[in-house]
Amino acid sequence: MLYHLIYPLHHHLSGLNVFRYITFRTAIAVLISLAIFIFFGQAFIRWIGKKTGKSIREHTPENHQKKKGTPSMGGILIVGAVTIATLLSGNLTNVNVLICLFTLVGFAAIGFVDDYLKEVKKDGKGIAARFKFSAQIVLGLIVAIYLYYFNPNLYLTGAHSVETLRVSEITIPFLSYVTIDLGVWYIPFALFIIVASSNAVNMSDGLDGLAIGLTLFAVLAFTVLAYLSGHKLIAEYLKVPFLPHIGEITVFTGALAGACLGFLWFNSHPAQIFMGDTGALSLGGVIGVMALLLKNELLLGIIGGVFVVEALSVILQVASFKLRKKRIFRMAPIHHHFELKGWHENKVITRFWIIGAVLALIGLATLKIR
């Protein structure tokens, strides 16, 4: 909004020309998003605390029961901050930004209904799992179909700017100009990326600050990738696909990074508020969409490696118990396994953060190892 209102005035006041630069508007988005938490965070916690009191999941370590009563649904403030910061700082004619906002708000709506039933209406079951999963599939399918049918041949390769990279082609980390064209199968592939990412982040949201910290590292990595991929000369030098209009989503990722920092201030141990499904599902869904938009679908498995392991630990635990009547881990997701082994919650969080940061750096390193 600021971009559309202020930048046209640069003909009369040259200083306003700074609004044309993505880097400047990204910094503004970070500050706006962070400022919303600084000025409204405590008031929001008091308000939402009157309506919610986190009911601790049944299958959690015993020491988590002391967290009962902690306000939840902090995802409302996360999504609100990101949306406001993006609307104020971003170019709203850019379809990539609109896709990210649609995904963020859409998945937040699913999580909100589930949180509302659990926290406000005190319905411990929330949305039935099949309906919740179906809603995620519908939203993911909308995005996947749009990308496949309405965004074809959008991406220009760094090596041959006159050629195109079809949206159905996925790039391979560590390899230059090597792609796999999935054709129409790209739709279920994209759907899987979005829904799996959404649920993986949700599964990781079990310790104070764990999920939001890991999300921050992933968002920072994608921010760098978005800026580099949107710069023709840098993209050609790094031998990565040049995506002409993708740079604008750095404004969105900047707003997201600011919101992550702001929420972490209140969500760090001992947490004053939890994000709930409203935050976890939306953050995971939008991370998956960013990977698709940046043509780094497989790289998501590296950058979000901790989320992958968290999800796999649940899948393996359930499969093992059903097939062998034996558990692999003391408790799943795997962060609870380490808690039951005697690690303090802070130690689990910090070590997982370190791993997440290292994986984000490895993901960025693939830009030079090609």
pLDDT in tens, 139-184: 999 999 999 988 755 565 554 444 577 888 888 888 777 788 999 9
Tokens representing residue 16 in the block: 């306003």
- Chain mean position to CA 164: 28
- Where is 110: in which H helix or E strand? helix 95-115
Residue at 370 is within a domain: no
Cis peptide before 270 (omega within 30 of 0): yes
Asked whether the CA dihedral 357, 365, 312, 55 is positive or negative, the reply is: positive
Residue at 40 is within a domain: yes
| Euclidean distance between CA atoms 160 and 164, whole angstroms | 8
Residue at 228 is within a domain: yes
> Rg of the Cα trace of the chain?
21
Residue at 146 is within a domain: yes
Strand, helix or coil at 171?
Answer: strand
- Selection from 222, 228, 220 nearest residue 158 by Cα: 228
How many CB atoms lie under 10 A from the CB of residue 161?
13
- Selection from 161, 85, 177, 146 nearest residue 292 by Cα: 146
Name residues whose C-beta falls within 8 Å of residue 36's C-beta, 6 or more positions apart in sequence.
Answer: 77, 80, 81, 84, 85, 259, 262
Domain holding 97, by residue range, is 2-365
| Euclidean distance between CA atoms 283 and 270, whole angstroms | 22
Q: How many domains does the chain have?
A: 1
Residue at 322 is within a domain: yes
Backbone angles phi, psi at 242, to 5 degrees: -90, 120
- Residues paired with residue 171 on neighbouring β-strands, in sequence order: 179
| Euclidean distance between CA atoms 361 and 229, whole angstroms | 17
- Where is 218: in which H helix or E strand? helix 210-229
- pTM of this structure: 0.93
What is the end-to-end Cα distance of the chain in Å, rounded? Answer: 39
Residue 156: the pLDDT is 58
Residue 171: the pLDDT is 86
Amino acid making up residue 9 = L
The answer to whether the CB of 82 falls within 8 A of the CB of 35 is: no
pLDDT of 297-311, one tens digit each?
999 999 999 999 999
Residue 2: the pLDDT is 66
Residue 162: the pLDDT is 46
Residue 15: the pLDDT is 60
Strand, helix or coil at 298?
Answer: coil
**Number of helices and strands in the chain (H, E):** 14, 4
| Euclidean distance between CA atoms 197 and 289, whole angstroms | 9
- Selection from 292, 16, 21 nearest residue 145 by Cα: 292
- Give the chain's residues under pLDDT 70: 1-17, 53-60, 62-63, 152-163, 370
Residue 243: the pLDDT is 86
Residue at 64 is within a domain: yes
Cis peptide before 333 (omega within 30 of 0): yes
